[in-house]
């Protein structure tokens, strides 16, 4: 079974492994051609314990949210739904309008986690956070998060809230993208803010180590895959979620990928093997 972990300091627990939806329902515009396959994959993920779905109003021009809405419509499982408001919609009225549109597309009454997709220096974060708090007060949003924020941007967002807290920061994190370990992860550990890792497989590069990694990196990943009888992807995902502050949201577009992803969360590599990967991939810091 997939382990659950506290979101921020809310007392609310989410799966350590969720499902990302970038490209599902289209990338920058609507694409319905693979909707049925995506819905089947998302539903399988929920059955396998990955009942944390992350999407965004920008994905597929909003159609990704519609696909997620259809996927979760008939499930009896408790699904944690996260979506994101685009940086051009961060004024007070635009945040409210975007949230209500996302609720309609997702066909839910409450967005569990509403995140600022990217910071926008042209719109004061205080204005954005005032709208976020209004959404929580009105019961349309449960928790507030951000995405792609630096430590200083995160601090400013936190200081802009009067009643609520920032519970998460969604950032790129993988064996090949470890820059957040320098400042973001220590900050989030101190403040008890969950790190939601997107692209935890480095856009598929970690699935094909011989193609994309140095020889020592590929050798280490392959040897551990043999040791644990897992795939390189499962080793790479397990490495990400071994950090207590982190949860991961690998893409969930195809059934076979969802099954493989699920096999990353029901075991844990040894501390020695975790440190081995940290050393071998140290140049990625």
- Per residue in 198-216, pLDDT (tens digit) is 999 999 999 999 999 999 9
Cα–Cα distance between 81 and 46 in angstroms, integer?
Answer: 11
What is residue 80's predicted lDDT score, i.e. its pLDDT? 98
The gap between the terminal CA atoms of the chain, to the nearest Å, is 31
Q: What is the pLDDT, as a whole number, of residue 1?
A: 80
Residues in the chain, pLDDT under 50: none
pLDDT value, residue 117? 99
Q: What is the pLDDT of residue 74?
A: 86
Q: Which of 59, 114, 173, 198 is catalytic?
A: 59
Q: For the whole model, what pTM was predicted?
A: 0.98
Domains and CATH numbers, the chain: 4-207+234-267 (3.20.20.100)
Residue 115 to residue 283: CA distance in whole angstroms: 31
**pLDDT confidence of residue 100:** 99
The answer to whether 82 touches 53, Cβ cutoff 8 Å, is: yes
Residue 59 falls in the annotated catalytic set? yes
Over the range 213-224, which residues count as b (16 or more CB within 10 Å of their CB) and which as e? Answer: beeebbebbbeb
CA distance 252 to 52: 11
């Amino acid at each position: 079974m997939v382990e659950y972990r506290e979101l921020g300091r809310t007392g609310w627990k989410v799966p350590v492994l969720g499902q990302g939806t970038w490209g599902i329902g289209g990338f920058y515009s609507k694409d319905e051609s693979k909707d049925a396959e995506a819905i089947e994959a998302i539903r399988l993920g929920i059955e396998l314990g990955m009942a944390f779905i992350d999407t965004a109003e920008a994905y597929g021009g909003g159609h990704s949210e519609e696909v997620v809405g259809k996927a979760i419509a008939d499930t009896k499982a408790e699904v944690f739904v996260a979506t994101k408001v685009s940086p051009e919609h961060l004024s007070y009225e635009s945040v409210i309008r975007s949230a209500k549109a996302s609720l309609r597309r997702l066909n839910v009454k409450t967005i569990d986690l509403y995140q600022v997709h990217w910071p926008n220096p042209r719109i004061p974060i205080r204005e954005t956070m005032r709208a976020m708090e209004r959404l929580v007060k009105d019961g349309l949003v449960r928790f507030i998060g951000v995405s792609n924020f630096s430590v200083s941007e995160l601090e400013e967002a936190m200081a802009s809230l009067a009643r609520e807290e920032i519970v998460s920061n969604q950032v790129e994190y993988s064996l090949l993208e470890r820059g957040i370990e320098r400042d973001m992860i220590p900050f989030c550990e101190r403040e008890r803010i969950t790190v939601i890792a997107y692209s935890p497989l480095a856009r598929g590069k970690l699935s094909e180590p011989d193609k994309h990694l140095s020889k020592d990196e590929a050798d280490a990943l392959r040897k551990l895959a043999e040791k644990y009888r897992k795939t390189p992807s499962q080793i790479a995902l397990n490495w990400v979620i071994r950090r207590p502050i982190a949860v991961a949201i690998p893409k969930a577009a195809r059934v076979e990928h969802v099954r493989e992803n699920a096999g990353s969360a029901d075991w844990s590599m040894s501390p020695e093997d975790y440190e081995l990967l940290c050393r071998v991939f140290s140049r990625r810091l």
